[in-house]
Amino acid sequence: MFLFRRGAARVTPAQARRRTTDGDAVLLDVRELAEWNAGHAPGAVHAPLSRLLTGTALPTAAQDRPLVVICRSGHRSQRAAGLLTGRGAEAVDVKGGMNAWVTAGLPVVDERGSSGRIA
């Protein structure tokens, strides 16, 4: 009999949007600064995976709250959600990341609040 460790749960972009607009969860974007500046979900909080891996604390707005973690395609967010879950946070990851977010027709803004793009 083989036992497999299960990673953090995954949600669709629509589920992520509901959890972060109707609930108390925070959408945590773990992409790097240039990617964030080009386009991110409105209301998201930025915490690059590279900084989380060094032990940097979550931004205040994301502390002690359920986290919905997103990146560009879902790979970094999956890793970040696992890392954060290991630290005791309640975290899920968005399947397909910001690429799936855009495909689902959900909004993206740049650092100025104008229409953004996924880089």
Is 29 among the residues known to form the active site? no
CA distances (Å), 118 to each of 11, 38, 54, 98, 102, in order? 19, 6, 25, 7, 8
Pairing of strands 67-70, 45-46: unpaired
Pick the catalytic residue from 70, 71, 84, 92. 71
40 by DSSP, 3-state: which? Answer: strand
Strand partners, 69: 28, 93
CA-atom Rg of the chain in angstroms: 14
Question: Angle at the Cα of 106 (from 118 to 58), degrees rounded to 5?
Answer: 65
Place of tokens 């891996």: 53
**Active-site annotation, residues:** 71
